[in-house]
Amino acid sequence: MGYRLFFLRDERDVEVVKELFSVLSGCVDNLVPGTWCVLVSENSKLTPEKISAFAMRDMCGFTVMQRKEESRGWFLLTGCSHMMKKFFDDIDVSNCCEWVWELKEREPIDLRTRVMVMGVVNVTPDSFYRESRGPTFSEAIKLAEKHIREGADIIDVGGESTRPGAKPVSAREEIKRVVPVIKELRQLWDGIISVDTYKAEVARAALDAGADVVNDISGMRFDEEMAEVVASYDAGAVVMHTSGRPEVMQQRTDYKNMLETVFGYIHESIDRLVSSGLQRTRIIVDPGIGFGKKPEHNLIILKHLEYFWALKRPILIGVSRKSFIGHFSGAAPEERLPGTIATSAVAVLHGARILRVHDVSEAVQIARIMEAMLKAGLPESYSSEDRGNVASQRI
């Protein structure tokens, strides 16, 4: 093949590259955490000179680097994965992610070309979107049944609003809200049930009631016992980033490098779960749209979701009717469905495979269309050798 693909995860990786390679063309400032790199063999048809000429002609954001201690040999090409395809049609950074999600006593779920829909059921009186609220037992069950009829793969049951500025409720009150709903759902349905909580006591009660997954907005940080509880039940886990508790998180939106901070936070949370005894294959990651983020931060995350593939776990995204859609469109929560559809599709194209939503019917249609797009590739007769020839001819 003549090349090796790798990823600059943090500043340490960047410094190693700068130490080993010198810049032939492009700008060293392009070397930042979150950059994909291709290490190219001297046996490749590509040469640094050809790449530099091509990059100059098309004004591409490449940096070409040569090994310092060798006049010939491997050289380095850096840029985003979409740029890489200008040279290597068979590059697929999705190979860097591990796409299978395994839940206890269920068949493994391959999410490479599958998109799952998680329907939200808020057993709360104050969640930001009125239609997601099921403040009574009967209303919550009715909403969950509607989601199931419309094709939800997962029902996410929460008993405390975590919208920006929301006040916490006690674990006792949260258990009172969510456990009866989860018990009833478990009797009615054999699909995946998650509990949206950051409290270990609530998670334990929900898992006893039949939940499969703990969806923790804090990434197992707000409650020191959470990782051990999840691991002891061998449960699924959604690990999310936030900059703080809901009442203060939107006051903490200044980052030196937002993507790197979010990545590092989730990486540490995964390590915490694995150290507690949970298998990595039980884990899903969520960069936390709207949780301690400025409106533009959310767009950057959606545009660069491939960055989080290096965590080697499938990605869940929750954009549904959130305030950043209103910030850019002026729409109220009740009017944000078009913006939700647009950003959900973008998220899947950039690597998300689970959509957490209020509007299940519309999300299921998005999922089916996006699955078809993910599966639509080159004709079977178009071999990898052909792709290499096309790439070399292009240069």
Residues classed as catalytic: 322, 356
SS (H, E, C) the chain: CCEEEEEECCHHHHHHHHHHEEEEECCHHHCCCCEEEEEECCCCCCCHHHHHHHHHHHCCCCEEEEECCCCCCCEEEEECHHHHCCCCCCCCHHHHCCCEECCCCCCCEECCCCCEEEEEEECCCCCCCHHHECCCHHHHHHHHHHHHHCCCCEEEEECCCCCCCCCCCCHHHHHHHHHHHHHHHHHHCCCEEEEECCCHHHHHHHHHHCCCEEEECCCCCCCCCHHHHHHHCCCEEEEECCCCCCCCHHHCCCCCCHHHHHHHHHHHHHHHHHHCCCCHHHEEEECCCCCCCCHHHHHHHHHCHHHHHHHCCCEEECCCCCHHHHHHHCCCHHHCHHHHHHHHHHHHHCCEEEEEECCHHHHHHHHHHHHHHHHCCCCCCCCHHHHHHHHHHHC
